[in-house]
Amino acid sequence: MSRIPVADLPLLSQASRRIPPVFKGFIWGLVGFLALNAIVADMSQETPHQYVTQVSVVFGWIGAMLGWVLGTGTWEAFMKPAFGRMSSWQEPSGWRRYFGYSTNHKVVGIQYMVSSAGGFVIAGIAAMLMRIQLMEDHMWLFQFPQQYLSTVGIHGTIMMFSVGTVFMVGGLGNYLIPLMVGSNSSAFPRLSGMSVWLVPFGILTVAFSPLLGDWTTGWRGYEPLAQSDADGIIFYYLGVFALLLSSLIVALNLTATIIYKRAPGLTWNRLPMYAWGMLAVSLLNIIWIPEIMMTFVLGLLNKIVPLPFFTALGSPLTYLQLFWLFGHPEVYIVVVPALALWMEIIPVMGRKTLFARQWGIIGLVFVMLFSGLVWAHHMFPTMRNQEILPFSFFTEMISVPTGFAYMVAIGTLWKSKLQITTPTILVLMSMFNFLIGGLTGLFLADPMVNMQVHDTFFIVGHFHFTIIGGMVFSSLAALYYYLPKFSGRMYNETWGKFGAVWVFLAFNATFAQLFVIGLRGMNRWVPVYPQYLQPMNFEISIFAILLGLGFLFNIVYILRIWVKGPVCEENPWKSKTLEWQTASPPAEHSFASVPRVVSGFYDYSDDCKSPSAPQGKIGIADT
Amino acid sequence: MTDHPEKPSDEDQVNWSRRKFLIGMTGLAVVGIGALFGRSAIAQVAEAVTGTPVNSGVINVYTRDYSYTPSRMTWRVGDQISMVLTNKSPNRFHEMMIGRGFDTTPSEFGPIKTQFHEDFWDGVHVMVSEADAVDNLATNNAVVTCNVTPHPWLITAPGNGNFSPTLMPGGMIRFDFTVPNKPGTWYYGCFVQGYRHYEAGMQGTLVILPA
Ligand code: HEM
Ligand SMILES: [Cu+2]
Ligand SMILES: [Cu+2]
C-alpha cells in the first residue's frame, strides 16, 4: 500500500482533523452512558435525588457499550451500509489500523492479542498488590479486607476472562486459523471486527468496579454472598458479560471458518492440530458461554431488582452449581489450545512426524466431551459422600484423554532431532509445569485430601501451575514461534532463552512454595494470617515480584523485536503448515491464489514433498 | 472478498496525528487512574469549591447497602430539624450513629471498632413522631419522647451503645430535634455486623455550623 506524497499538504491538514476511532469510541461511550443513565435515574422517585443508582448504572453501562463499539468504527463500516447508505469508513494504514474497526482477520487477531496482553498487565499489577499485602501478616497496604478481596476478584476475573479465554483463542485463533485452513478471511469478518472491541471494554469495566464499591466474591461472583456486597459486583457481572459475549462471537466465527473455509484438499484427516484444538475449544465455548452468561444475568437481577433466586427464599446452592457447570469446562477452554499448540510446535522443532496424530485429536475431543461431567468437584464440602464419589471418579477419568494429548507430545519428542530454540524450551517448560499441575489435581480429586486442602493456597498453587504453567508458558512459546510470521523479524536466541529461563525459575520458586504453605495452613482470601506463616509469605512475594518483572521483560522484548528486530527469512522454522506458505508478514490477501492441499502437514521425513501446491492463477478449486 | 466495493482508494486516506494520539491516550489513562484511586480526594475538592447547602426543616436520609444518601450534611446550631431516616436495603438491617472517635474491642485481627467514642446525641431532646419497621432504638443519653404507640420496637436503655435507630429492610423513623450547641465536624456511620458496614463505606460527615 503506497501513499502518494504529492498529496502531502492537504493530507496533513486533514490529518489533524480526523479523530482516532478509539477516542471517538470513548466520547460516544461517555455520551451513551450519560444519556441512558440520566433517563433511568430520572424515573426514580427518590428525594434527595441520586444520580447513579443500581438500575441506572446498568442501563448507562449498556449505553456506554453501544457508544464505544459503534464509535470505534462499527457505525461507519457496518451500521451505515446496513441501512443502505454508503460506508464512510476509511481504514487507516500502518499502526493506526490497529486502533479501530477492521475486517482483516490478521488485524483482528493482533487486536485481540494486544487487548489480552493489556488485561494481563492490569491483572498482573493487581497480583503484585496482593503479594505486597501478603508480605506482612496484618493490614498494611490495604486498609480493609474488602479492598484485598476486590483486588483478588479483579485479578482472577480479568486473568480468566480476558487472558485465559481470549489470548490463544480470540488472538492466535483469529490470526492463524484462516491462514491454517488456506483462506483469505474468516467466516464472519465484520462481526469479529466488532466483537474485539468488547474486550478492552470488559476489562475496563471490571478494573473500574471499585468505583461502585468493593466486592468480595472473587472471580466467581458467588451468590448469595454477592448479595451482601456493595455495588461493585454489578460491574463484575457486566464486565464479564461483555468479555464472554466477545468470546462467544469468536467461537462462532472460528467454528464456521474451520467448517466452511477450508482450502480444497484440506480434509478433516489433514486438518492441522491447532485447528482441531480451536474447533474443540469453540464447541466448548458455544455450549458453556451462554449458560454462564444467563447465570450472571440472574445474579445481576438478584442484585438490582432484587429477585430472590439465590437467597434463603430461593435456592442458595444453585448459583454454585450453575457457576461450576461452566467453571470446569472453562479450565479446558484455557488448556486445550495450549495442548494443541504443543502438537504444532514439537514436530517442526523435532523434524519428526507427529506421533499418533489420531489419538491426539481423540484426546482433545474427549476432553471437550467430558468437561461437563465433573463440575461438582469444586463443591465437595457442600456434598454428601455418595454424591462425591461419582464426581471424584469422573475427575480422575478426565486425565485419560488429557494424557493422550500429552503422550502425543512425548511420543513425538522421542528420538527426534530436537532443535533447542526458545519456543522449544518454552513448550518443554510448559509440559513440565502442566504435569505438576495435573498431578496435584489428582490429589484434589480425592475427597479426603480435598477436605483438608480445600480453599488453601494448595489450590492456588495447583491452578496457577495449570494456567500459568500450561497456558501462559505456551502462549509465550507461541509468541516467539510466530514472531517471524507476525513481523517478518527474528528474535535473538540468547535473549529469548534468557527470558524463558527467567520466568521459569521465578515461576517455580513462587508457586511450588504455595503447595507447602497451603499444607501448613495458609487460607485463600485472607489478607491477614497467623504469624508463623509470615516469613514464607514474604519470600514468596519476593519471587512473585521477580516473576512479574520476568513477564514484563518478555513482553517488552517481544514488542521491541516486533518493531525493529532484524529481518529474517519467511519460513525460518521450515514448517510445512499452510500459514508458513504465505509471506511473513502476510500480505493484505494472504494467499494470492487459494492453495490446494495434497497431503498431511506433519511428515518431516527429509524427502517428503510440500503438502500443498499453488493453484492456477484464477484460484478456483478443481476438486 | 471482505472489501466493500465503495471502499475509498488510497489517495483519499487521511490519518490522525501521532502526537495527538499519544497525548490523548496518556490523558485518558491519567483521568482513569485518578478516578479510580483519587475519587475521595476529587470529591473533597469538588465540595470545597461548591460547598454543601445548610440542611434544615425536613431532611431525608437513606441507608443503602453500604452507604448513606446524602453522605455529607451541614446543620446550623439552633435549627429545628425533622430527620426522616429510611432503609432502602431490600434485605439488610442498618442503623445510624453520630459521633466522634471510636470505642474498640480487641480481636485476632487487631482492634475492631464497635461504636463512636463521643455520642452526638448526649443530652439532646428527641421526639419520635413516626416509625415503621424499626428493629430497635438505643436511646443512650438522649432524652427521648415517643409519640408512636404502642412502641413497634424495642427501646434499649442507656449504657447499651450510642443513640441509634436500627431499621429493618424498608423501615423508616422520623424524629424531631433542635440542633444542639455542639459546633464542629461529626461523623455518622453504621456499625451493624461488627463494623463491616462502616468499613464497606457506610459512613458520612456532618458539619455543625455555629448559630
Ligand atoms: C505474576 C503472576 C501471578 C501471581 C503472583 C498471582 C498471584 C495470585 C494470588 C496471590 C492470588 C490470590 C490468592 C488468594 O488470596 O486467594 C491469585 C488468585 C488467582 N489467580 Fe493469580 N497470580 C498470577 C498470575 C495469574 C495468571 C496468569 C492467571 C490466569 C490466567 C491467574 C489466575 C488467578 C485466579 C483465577 C485466581 C483466583 C481468584 C479468585 O479467587 O477469585 N493468576 N493469584
Ligand atoms: Cu474443575
Ligand atoms: Cu448498615
Residue of A201, A206, A228, A589 to mutate when probing chain B, most B C-beta within 10 A: A228
| Atom of ligand 1 at shortest range from CA of A334 | 30
Residues A16-69 have pLDDT tens digits of 467 888 999 999 999 999 999 999 988 877 666 778 888 999 999 999 999 999
Distance from CA of B15 to the nearest CA of A (A): 5
| Close Cβ partners of A67 (under 8 Å, ≥ 6 residues apart) | A25, A27, A28, A29, A30, A31, A32, A33
Q: What are the phi and psi torsion angles at B189 (to 5°)? A: -165, 165
Under DSSP, the state recorded for B68 is E
Q: What is the 3-state secondary structure (H, E, C) of A277-333?
A: HHHHHHHHHHHHHHHHHHHHHHHHHHHHCCCCCCCCCCCCCHHHHHHHHHHHHHHHH
Which residue in A86, A139, A230 is closest to B65 by CB distance?
Answer: A230
The residues with which B97 forms a beta bridge, in sequence order, are B189
Which residue in B8, B24, B91 is closest to A90 by CB distance?
Answer: B8
Q: Would you say residue A187 has pLDDT above 60?
A: yes
Cell of A548: 512479574
Under DSSP, the state recorded for B53 is P
Query: Looking at residues A453-460, what average pLDDT do you find?
Result: 95
Q: What are the phi and psi torsion angles at B75 (to 5°)? A: -120, 160
Query: Which residue lies with its CA nearest to atom 7 of ligand 1?
Result: A127
Contact at CB, B17 and A1, closer than 8 angstroms: no
Distance from CA of A347 to the nearest CA of B (A): 34
Please give the pLDDT value at position A152: 97
Contact at CB, B28 and A20, closer than 8 angstroms: no
Mean pLDDT, chain A, whole residue set:
90
> Rounded distance, CA B138 to CA B158, Å?
7
Contact at CB, B36 and A19, closer than 8 angstroms: no
Helix (H, G, I), strand (E, B) or coil at B103: strand
Residues A496-518 have pLDDT tens digits of 999 999 999 999 999 999 999 99
**CA of residue A134 to ligand 2 center, whole Å:** 26
**Whether A197 contacts A189, CB under 8 Å:** no
B155/A29: higher pLDDT: A29
Cell of B61: 436520609
Helix (H, G, I), strand (E, B) or coil at B80: strand
A178/A614: higher pLDDT: A178
| Close Cβ partners of A42 (under 8 Å, ≥ 6 residues apart) | none
Preceding peptide of A224 cis, ω within 30°:
yes
| A24 Cβ closer than 6 Å to some ligand 1 atom | no
Query: Which residue, among A356, A318, A446, A350, has the nearest Cα to A392 in the 3D structure?
Result: A446
Helix (H, G, I), strand (E, B) or coil at A90: coil
> Rounded distance, CA A361 to CA B39, Å?
52
Find chain A residues with C-beta within 8 A of B93's C-beta.
none
**Whether A466 contacts A159, CB under 8 Å:** no
| Atom of ligand 1 at shortest range from CA of A130 | 10
Among the bound ligands, the one closest to the CA of A445? 2
Under DSSP, the state recorded for B50 is H
| A242 Cβ closer than 6 Å to some ligand 1 atom | no
Helices (H), A71-137: 80-82, 105-133
**CA of residue A331 to ligand 2 center, whole Å:** 7
Please give the pLDDT value at position B148: 83
Please give the pLDDT value at position A615: 54
Find chain B residues with C-beta within 8 A of A19's C-beta.
16
The chain B residues in contact with chain A (CB within 8 A) are: 1-2, 4, 6-8, 10-17, 20-21, 24-25, 28, 32, 35-36, 39, 60, 62, 65-67, 69-70, 90-92, 109-110, 199-201
Residue keyed to cell 469478518: A189
Contact at CB, A47 and B12, closer than 8 angstroms: no
Residues A566-605 have pLDDT tens digits of 999 989 998 989 999 899 899 888 998 888 988 888 888 7
Helix (H, G, I), strand (E, B) or coil at A247: helix
Please give the pLDDT value at position A487: 92
Q: Would you say residue A266 has pLDDT above 60?
A: yes
Q: Which of A122, A152, A513, A524 to mutate to test the pocket of ligand 1 (most atoms within 8 A of CB)?
A: A152
Cell of A31: 455520551
Contact at CB, B200 and A15, closer than 8 angstroms: no
Q: Would you say residue B8 has pLDDT above 60?
A: no
| A71 Cβ closer than 6 Å to some ligand 1 atom | no
Please give the pLDDT value at position B155: 78
Q: Would you say residue A357 has pLDDT above 80?
A: yes
| A468 Cβ closer than 6 Å to some ligand 1 atom | yes
**CA of residue B193 to ligand 3 center, whole Å:** 8
Please give the pLDDT value at position A56: 92
Residue of B14, B59, B93 to mutate when probing chain A, most A C-beta within 10 A: B14
Q: Would you say residue A393 has pLDDT above 80?
A: yes
Contact at CB, A204 and B1, closer than 8 angstroms: no
> Rounded distance, CA A289 to CA A298, Å?
14
Query: Which residue, among A317, B100, A483, has the nearest Cα to A475 in the 3D structure?
Result: A483
**CA of residue B116 to ligand 3 center, whole Å:** 15
| A476 Cβ closer than 6 Å to some ligand 1 atom | no
Please give the pLDDT value at position B166: 93
* Residues less than 5 Å from ion ligand 3, measured at CB: B 94, 190, 192, 197, 202
Distance from CA of A139 to the nearest CA of B (A): 9
Which residue in B28, B66, B92 is closest to A213 by CB distance?
Answer: B66
Contact at CB, B16 and A19, closer than 8 angstroms: yes
Among the bound ligands, the one closest to the CA of A529? 1
**CA of residue A439 to ligand 2 center, whole Å:** 14
Cell of A453: 486442602
Residue of B13, B18, B58, B84 to mutate when probing chain A, most A C-beta within 10 A: B13
| A152 Cβ closer than 6 Å to some ligand 1 atom | yes
* Encoded amino acid at B140, one letter: N
Q: What percent of chain A has pLDDT over 70?
A: 94
Contact at CB, B200 and A210, closer than 8 angstroms: no
Please give the pLDDT value at position A479: 96
Torsion angle of C-alpha atoms A503, A506, A510, A511, degrees rounded to 10: 40
Start-to-end CA distance of chain A, whole Å, equals 34
Which residue in B13, B60, B199 is closest to A146 by CB distance?
Answer: B199
Give the distance from CA A530 to its chain's centroid: 36
Cell of A459: 489450590
Q: What percent of chain A has pLDDT over 90?
A: 70
Helix (H, G, I), strand (E, B) or coil at A18: coil
pLDDT band at A608 (very low <50, low <70, confident <90, very high): low
Q: Give the CA distances from residue A6 to residues A9, A346, B7, in Å, rounded to whole numbers and listed in that order.
A: 8, 50, 21
| A473 Cβ closer than 6 Å to some ligand 1 atom | no
Among the bound ligands, the one closest to the CA of B63? 3
Q: Would you say residue A617 has pLDDT above 70?
A: no
Contact at CB, B17 and A16, closer than 8 angstroms: yes
Query: Looking at residues B121-140, what average pLDDT do you find?
Result: 90
Helices (H), A351-398: 357-370, 385-397
Query: Looking at residues A446-467, what average pLDDT do you find?
Result: 94
How would you class A526 by CB atoms within 10 Å of its CB: exposed for 0-12, middle for 13-18, buried for 19 or more? middle
Q: Would you say residue B78 has pLDDT above 70?
A: yes
> Rounded distance, CA A458 to CA A462, Å?
6
Please give the pLDDT value at position A427: 96
| Close Cβ partners of A409 (under 8 Å, ≥ 6 residues apart) | A339, A342, A343, A346, A427, A431
**CA of residue B27 to ligand 1 center, whole Å:** 30
* Encoded amino acid at A149, one letter: L
**CA of residue A465 to ligand 2 center, whole Å:** 14
Size of interface A-B (CB pairs under 8 A): 109
> Rounded distance, CA B116 to CA B105, Å?
12
Contact at CB, B10 and A4, closer than 8 angstroms: yes
**CA of residue A129 to ligand 1 center, whole Å:** 11
Q: Give the CA distances from residue A18 to residues A9, A64, A75, A378, A552, in Å, rounded to whole numbers and listed in that order.
A: 15, 22, 16, 52, 33
Please give the pLDDT value at position A607: 56
| Close Cβ partners of B15 (under 8 Å, ≥ 6 residues apart) | A11, A15, A18, A92, A93, A94, A96
Query: Which residue, among A203, A236, A248, has the nearest Cα to A68 in the 3D structure?
Result: A203
Contact at CB, B35 and A207, closer than 8 angstroms: no
> Rounded distance, CA A170 to CA A475, Å?
12
* C-alpha atoms less than 13 angstroms from C-alpha of A21 in its C-beta half-sphere: 27
Q: What are the phi and psi torsion angles at B129 (to 5°)? A: -110, -15
Find chain A residues with C-beta within 8 A of B39's C-beta.
211
| Close Cβ partners of A59 (under 8 Å, ≥ 6 residues apart) | A36, A37, A39, A40
| Close Cβ partners of B41 (under 8 Å, ≥ 6 residues apart) | none
Query: Looking at residues A188-211, what average pLDDT do you find?
Result: 95
Q: What is the 3-state secondary structure (H, E, C) of A166-177?
A: CHHHHHHHHHHH
pLDDT band at B11 (very low <50, low <70, confident <90, very high): very low
pLDDT band at A177 (very low <50, low <70, confident <90, very high): very high
Please give the pLDDT value at position A476: 97
Dihedral sign from CA coordinates of B108, B114, B116, B119: negative
Query: Where is average pLDDT lowest: A14-23, A225-234, A363-372?
Result: A14-23
> Rounded distance, CA A406 to CA A359, Å?
10
| A164 Cβ closer than 6 Å to some ligand 1 atom | yes
Contact at CB, A93 and B39, closer than 8 angstroms: no
Q: Would you say residue A161 has pLDDT above 90?
A: yes
Find chain A residues with C-beta within 8 A of B190's C-beta.
none
**CA of residue A128 to ligand 1 center, whole Å:** 10
> Rounded distance, CA B92 to CA B105, Å?
24
